[in-house]
Amino acid sequence: MSNCLRIASWNINSVRARLDIVERYLREEAPDILCLQETKVTNDLFPEGPFRQLGYRHFAINGMPMHHGVAIISKVPLRHVERLDWQANGEARHVGVEIDGGVRINNVYIPAGGDIPDRDENPKFGQKLDFLARMTEWSAGLKDKTLLTGDFNVAPLEMDVWSHKQLRNVVSHTDIEIELLAKMQAAGHWVDLARHFVAPSERLYTWWSYRARDWEASDRGRRLDHMWVTPDLTATAKNHVVHKMCRSWGKPSDHAPIMTEFDF
């Protein structure tokens, strides 16, 4: 009997507005678990019905009206649901669960941080930095086998952005964000699965702006979406992919899904 489990993550930018492409993705790629960010819907209005019809009968939801929101939908049972407030203001940006084998899955939507990379001029940027600091403290205390995934809104490496030189002072690729993300990674001894399978010298993106007239031709992307594991899970990861084709589907999200296949 195979213990293969495919876990995907996708910032969908409104699950109800893009329900058709989420359903298409589930039909075509059939992950066992899908972590969604920016669901933009309250828990009571989350569209469980269509997912149940596709075999996803287990849900862990943390939603709010109009903004943010995260959800985990799954073919396998989810237990011990946890909702942490790393934003420290009640925003719905995290949901965590446990699956068979004692593995914890944490789905997070880290704040974008606004446009100005200065805490004093832009309080949203300060909130983002504080969010990362709280996640670092949490990471340092981990004891369980843990997977952390979602939209981190930080592209840490030079080849995670289309132009390191031009984006050095642009939010998501500033030195201070990269430094804080590295501290968080070190605190949990996290393994970045994308870069475990794809060399840091190779370009790798998960997000392309809506502003680009032809996003695919210009390919001005950033790797904002991540999947990390504690070291005890590294050997269970068999492959990692970015499903870039979803960015060209009708009424797309500006993010593409990422997926890792595990053998637990």
Long-range contacts, stretch 59-64, CB < 8 angstroms, 24+ apart: 60/95, 60/96, 60/97, 61/95, 62/92, 62/93, 62/94, 62/95, 63/39, 63/92, 64/91, 64/92
For residue 213, give the DSSP letter: T
Task: List beta partners, residue 149.
Answer: 107, 227
CA dist list (Å): 73 to 76, 141, 245: 9, 26, 21
Range(s) of the domain holding residue 204: 4-263
Sign of the dihedral through C-alpha 181, 149, 94, 170: positive
Give pLDDT, residue 264: 87
Secondary structure (3-state) at 253: coil
How confident is the model over 241-257, as a mean pLDDT? 97
User: What mean pLDDT do residues 104-126 have?
Assistant: 98
pLDDT greater than 90 at residue 1 = no
Total count of domains within the chain: 1
Answer whether residue 39 shows pLDDT above 90.
Answer: yes
Q: How confident is the model at residue 2 (pLDDT cuts 50, 70, 90)?
A: low
pTM of full prediction above 0.95:
yes
**pLDDT per residue over 203-244, tens digit each?**
999 999 998 889 999 999 999 999 999 999 999 999 999 999
What is the mean predicted confidence (pLDDT) over 55-71? 97
Tokens of 89: 């203001």
State the Cα–Cα distance between residues 111 and 51, nearest whole angstrom: 27
Using pLDDT thresholds of 50, 70 and 90, give the confidence band for residue 91: very high
CATH code of the domain in which 235 resides:
3.60.10.10
